[in-house]
Amino acid sequence: MGRIELYFDVISPYSWIAFEALTKLNEKWNIEIQLKPFYLGEVMKRSGSRPPALVKAKGIFMVADLDRSSKYWGIPLNPCPEFMRWMKTYTTEDAQKVLLTLQKNQPELLEAAAREFWLRLWSRGQKIFEKNDLLEVLKTIGARDIEGTLTESKSSEVANLLEENISTAVDQGAFGAPWIVVHDDNGDEHYIFGSDRMHHIADILSLPLLSKI
Ligand SMILES: N[C@@H](CCC(=O)N[C@@H](CS)C(=O)NCC(=O)O)C(=O)O
């Protein structure tokens, strides 16, 4: 029946688009989608890639492209004027570790937590980097043992989970996000970069692609 792994980082608006697009498409597809939080900063470092927003022409293009994609999928994406400054000051490593801790202990909250991180950073212009930001996300999604979750997110066990997702993706050839692994019925793996390859995923898995949902 096919299976997809979605490697993502909440710093990445295109990861949000892939997440919501796959969620909508999966209302029809009904395939297994496994979420794989990784840390895009480290993926870029190891693969020799760099954030597109740091290349002037790509940054300008991205604003229009994100607007089109978010309208197409009905995602309330609203780039924040502070984003470039925050990108130079903070990282999403702690947020990604919180997601991995939830995946381990309260997996039913993982989707809601990832969406809340994206809504904060990419819709409401709120930070997602410091302890208070993480506390607010955990509170909003109704997580239990919030302090314990934050403490565990700093453990070596969670650091190892993050490292596993980073190194697996980089070994597969990842250089950015979203990085999507499609497992077909023959047991083969297909590596996809971007939220704009839904037609390839449908084709690989012989699934219908609705032109607009
Ligand atoms: N065309 C892709 C663009 C995805 C993209 O630019 N992702 C950024 C992170 S938000 C990235 O990792 N870029 C790496 C690169 O362009 O080399 C899409 O529509 O999803």
Buried b (16+ CB within 10 A) or exposed e, 43-63: bbeeeeeebebeeeeeeeebe
Is the minimum distance from the CB of 52 to ligand 1 under 6 angstroms?
Answer: yes
CA of 192 from ligand 1 middle (Å) equals 11
- Asked whether 144 and 137 are in contact (CB, 8 A), the reply is no
**In this structure, is residue 72 part of a structural domain?**
yes
**In this structure, is residue 198 part of a structural domain?**
yes
4 Cβ partners below 8 Å, 6+ apart? 22, 31, 32, 33, 34, 180, 181, 182, 183, 201
Q: Which of 6, 12, 20, 50 to mutate to test the pocket of ligand 1 (most atoms within 8 A of CB)?
A: 12
**In this structure, is residue 196 part of a structural domain?**
yes
pTM over 0.80: yes
**In this structure, is residue 213 part of a structural domain?**
no
Active site residue 123: no
Quote the number of domains for the chain. 1
Domain containing residue 122: 3-204
* Domain CATH number, residue 174: 3.40.30.10
Tens place of pLDDT for every residue, the chain, 213 residues?
A: 789 999 999 999 999 999 999 999 999 999 999 999 999 999 999 999 999 988 999 999 999 999 999 999 999 999 999 999 999 999 999 999 999 999 999 999 999 999 999 999 999 999 999 999 999 999 999 999 999 999 999 999 999 999 999 999 999 999 999 999 999 999 999 999 999 999 999 999 999 987 654
CA of 212 from ligand 1 middle (Å) equals 22
**In this structure, is residue 209 part of a structural domain?**
no
**In this structure, is residue 210 part of a structural domain?**
no
**In this structure, is residue 60 part of a structural domain?**
yes
